[in-house]
Structure 1
């Protein structure tokens, strides 16, 4: 969506929708309502994960190179849409209805974007916006003569011939999205007019004549209008110009609208047509929690693709529709980016999600091959309050249980721009043999999203050969420019995966808390860029005066336990002493870092110290070491001096708990609300950012404030995890 006038009917509908959404985003919380319960049945699956919804309208740069792979690959995009809108020259129209420089710059941009997204490690569908290449992007002059005016389609046919010839010459497979939002400033003759259907029919017949088998997409209406869809289907059925994909923009509820569209297709006697919503999220909806809700609805809708809309940086900024923001000249992830990353980590088969109330929903998936399950939770109205995830069917997923059981981690994805990383707000280990469990989720701020992961609880490490490309908990994926050599005596499993092509990308998807990357260091090796989970890439120089075929060349920081993505890119330069710029990957070592658990009542070694106002209770069966250190006195302070790179705080969450603040090394205090409608006596309530290795001090302060739903003002500390 580009911000532009519409016909009166469409503009009014848009305005009312946006106003309602804006009001909803400021709606009061759920504090006075019963907590919704979402039941996730991991034993009942509904079909394979497709990734529908992980798409972008004009998300890439003009030449398709931006954003960099370390920001794009973790999202596993499944679709994109573009056609050079707003580029200088005004397309075919600006060239006097001919193929000049204005046309050339637009088609070249679109095909460059398609080439990027159709090349490994990506396999996204690309919808070519034919009308944008033509010039109908709202910047065209008022004197524009639109296709088939007065029944004359000759110039339109000439344009279609040139577009199809250029697509064929590029070697790219695209889907032809014939006309974007055919009303208002995009197509003043209007949708459903004689001229519109002449334009449509001519395009479908000519594209299919010139490129047999080419996929046609339409009508790309500005909203979901059932009456217009019925009119469109009635015509195209009679004319023999039915599209391969029926699409629209901005569903209120993607799942409900998709069912209505299927009903309309059946009523028209049309079968075999797929469905797409290739623009979604109005500007005020572009929030982490609202986006997660839409993805949940899209996942169960049966749509084959859906693309995030663009409102503020049209059209070649390369920011993935503002899910990336510039910070000091570098693009950084936002909360929305992290939602897409969590969504990309939902692999395998969709699990059944039922229940809930009002605006909360979730999408869940279980993947036996990768030994993990995930749940992404969102809210469409910006509400706050408790939600309970009732996990069932665990008895049917023994592959999720490790020696210690199932590790359940709850991450909060704040709606922040930028956002360095999600925050772990809860964790627990379900004992082996557990068949069901309840996981409390409490919104801490409107428009947050939450991501819950289930993985085997184990302390075991894993060695991952660079040639391990089959789906599993740990897997390498290689883009163009990479090759493999076997029979290398001094490398793990005898294999080397290598590239000397600058820009070539390899991915390592792993599940764990830390990873070390091993590669060849030698006199002919180059440099590579390494990033984890969208972090700013670091340069790793693999040159060495003597060969080490399996050197540890990079180690990640300590990460939250769960799925992560490392992106490795061959750098364009090399050490001046090197005779080449090859990169040869050997293997990766994945593990859970050895975390030290500190009881809140410990008195020797690393331990908490307490000021006035604190008490201790022993013999509490559901707490670590059976002890609780507690206070309900505002201003009471507890401190933990520790040495390490990170600290996670365990505390009681319950119906009578209150609000505390936590701070590290005198930094800004962060508020933590320990209220929850369901007790969790030993979960992680807060985790620090990764810290410089060394000595640090954690300070916990009782605020005296509490959630309105809480029945008390207590703070009860359980323990802390210290990361090396």
Structure 2
């Protein structure tokens, strides 16, 4: 839901406020639960899909970049240009075009929420003439912002099942068509997102999809909110996919651009359950709901940009690389978690929570790590949004024997509200810092993540194209973390099936552009070729962009597919 300070507002969209808040409370579940992690069963690249926020940025610098880069922000939903929205009585803020420079600096895409041009919530409808004039103003403002390339979609309305004034504006399905066509008359390129309902409802969605299909106004990205209970997510996504297929609609990308209720959003154990289910559901993006105040990335930081307990869960998420692997909880309501395997460093990184007492994480498919592994267990508490947590707690570090690729780890004295991280790595150690960054793990704008057996990690980014506007600029942003400020050799794995040399632009940390040349290779999706260049990086986090098109860059030539970059 949106940023409501009154529990009664929740009741208007959900079944009852009482039921919602009861569902939102972290479970006081019995001990003895098991989470199974199959390291040998990857299902998609790490994209940090659920590291995002509604109104995550207040202005161009609050919260600080230093708090955002480590959590690898995937995307944000921000208010419309000329925002009038006053969430919880605060002054309007977070204008999508004004915060775009900061979002770009940290590699995040932006969804523009159009009805936030209005000051009140629920939105106060004026007239169709007023609304369509506002639509034209917003779209034209975006078109005029020729240096803004990170807008990934127009969200036409927000929670129409709760906020649409049918008596004054007519049926929402008809209103959707009018608004869709008004946007498309000006902007035929930017994806359209919707219907962004407060809760998933099959009959409501069926009516919407049928009408949108029949009028040629289907959204490019389907969106709804998950605010009652993470246990709903798997069933809702499965039901949507069934409905979509039954209506003859090709599979849409899914965004859950608000998740977690007020009683959940600052509870790391509960958030771990949400992220696990969103990752398994295959959503493209998911954003923490906004309930309180601007400038905190939805409660992840407190005054002076200090991290809360929940920030550390997202930091663990941001540290993930490689491919997400299958995690199986015993039930949908208790212990749950998410995990990737990074084959370049041979690290398994399991984040879990939402259960009390002594519980078990069973890992299989550990053969590539060897017969003996180092197991480190950490925890982060539920500190709320006003108490800083300077670091997670290391609970234990042990050496364990792997038997037939399997290992069982008992985790004693868990608190249901806390989140935990289990890092499993070879006893021989791993590189001091991540050196290889897979393109499919990076922030990908208007290109596609694809798979190939010859690619490092099995994935790559292709169809990197550009037609010369900020709405089609195609680029890949790598957020990298290096230990010292110096010049690094950057090796790029690539493929180029054009038969001629291709070029892309290279820039880092907003600096000047240089050109990378890619000689032809044996074919598309066939990897092994590399080129090398140098980059001068600062200690800590840096953003490296490889672009076919980007502001202040004339544009690349030909075509090249990106496998990885490696810093040595």
Tell me whether the two structures share a fold, i.e. TM-score over 0.5: yes
Matches within 5 A, 1:702-721: none
Secondary structure of the 1:292 match is helix
SS at match of 2:172: helix
Instruction: Give 1:301 deviation, angstroms.
Output: 0.4
Instruction: Decide whether aligned partners of structure 1 residues 90 and 190 sit closer, same or farther in structure 2, where only a CA change above 3 A counts.
Output: farther
1:10 paired residue number: 12
Higher relative contact order (CA 8 A, sep 6+): 2
1:306-356: CA deviation from partner (whole Å, max 9, x where unpaired): 11001111xxx2100111122xxx121111111111112222111122242
Residues 419 and 190 of structure 1, relative CA distance in 2, 3 Å threshold: farther
- Bigger shift: residues 248-257 or 161-170: 248-257
Per-residue CA shift, 1:500-542, capped at 9, x if unaligned?
xxxxx996536xxxx5x3559xxxxxxx9xxxxxxxxxxxxxx
Matched, 1:131 2:115: yes
Distance in 2 (CA, whole Å) between partners of 1:45 and 1:87 is 41
Taking the TM superposition and a 5 Å limit, the aligned residue runs for 1:185-224 are 186-189=163-166, 194-224=170-200
What is the aligned partner in structure 2 of residue 242 from structure 1?
218
- Partners of 1:411 and 1:451 within 8 A in 2: yes
Deviation at 1:271, TM superposition (A): 0.8
**1:13 counterpart SS class:** coil
Deviation at 1:441, TM superposition (A): 1.4
Question: Deviation string for 1:35-63 (max 9, x for gaps)?
Answer: 122221111212222322111001111x3
Find out whether 1:325 has 2:337 as its counterpart.
no
CA offset at residue 264 of structure 1? 1.3
Q: How many residues align?
A: 446
Secondary structure class of the residue paired with 1:435: coil
Q: How does 1:14-93 map to 2 (within 5 A)?
A: 14-21=16-23, 24-25=25-26, 27-31=27-31, 35-61=32-58, 63-83=59-79
- C-alpha displacement of 1:14: 4.7
2:154 maps to which of 162, 172, 176: 176
1:661-680 paired onto structure 2 within 5 Å = none
Unaligned runs of 5+ in 1: 92-101, 149-153, 478-504, 521-527, 529-552, 555-565, 570-586, 590-724
State the Cα distance separating 1:282 from its structure 2 match: 0.3
Question: Hey, what does 1:445 align to over in structure 2?
Answer: 415
- Change in CA separation of 1:190 and 1:181 when aligned onto 2, cut-off 3 Å: farther
Q: 1:439 to 1:344 in 2, by over 3 A?
A: same
Q: Aligned match of 1:347 in 321, 330, 336?
A: 321
Offset at residue 69 of structure 1 (A): 1.5
User: Residues of 1 paired with 2:96 and 2:213: CA distance?
Assistant: 30
Which of these two proteins has the greater Rg computed from alpha carbons? 1
Match of 2:95 among 91, 97, 109: 109
What secondary structure does 2:382 align onto? coil
Q: Secondary structure at the match of 1:43?
A: strand
Asked whether the 8 Å contact 2:80–2:112 carries over to 1, the reply is no
Report the Cα distance in structure 2 between the residues aligned to 1:66 and 1:425, rounded to whole angstroms.
33
Whether the aligned pair in 2 keeps the contact of 1:409 and 1:454 (CA below 8 Å) is yes
In the alignment, the residues of structure 1 paired with residue 95 and residue 425 of structure 2 have an alpha-carbon distance, to the nearest angstrom, of 42
Match of 2:356 among 377, 381, 384: 384
Distance 1:476 1:109, change over 3 A: closer
Contact 2:109–2:152 (8 Å) recurs in 1: yes
Partner in structure 1 of residue 395 of structure 2: 425
Check if 1:435 corresponds to 2:405: yes
SS at match of 1:162: helix
Q: Distance in 1 between matches of 2:43 and 2:278?
A: 14
User: Retained in 2: the 8 A contact 1:48–1:350?
Assistant: yes
Give the Å deviation of 1:190. 6.9
Partners of 2:215 and 2:9 in 1: how far apart?
26
1:413 paired to 2:380: yes
Q: C-alpha distance in 2, partners of 1:268/1:385?
A: 46
Root mean square deviation, CA, Å: 3.5
Name whichever structure is richer in helix by fraction: 2
TM-score, reference length from structure 2: 0.70
Displacement after TM superposition at 1:120 (Å): 4.6
8 A Cα contact 1:182 1:190, kept in partner: no
SS of residue paired to 1:373: strand
Distance 1:221 1:127, change over 3 A: same
C-alpha separation in 1, matches of 2:81 and 2:301: 20
- Paired residues of 2:82 and 2:95 also in contact (CA < 8 A): no
Specify whether residues 419 and 249 from structure 1 end up closer, same or farther in structure 2 by C-alpha distance, changes over 3 A only.
Answer: same
Q: Distance in 2 between matches of 1:412 and 1:225?
A: 36
Contact 2:81 2:95 in 1 (8 A): no
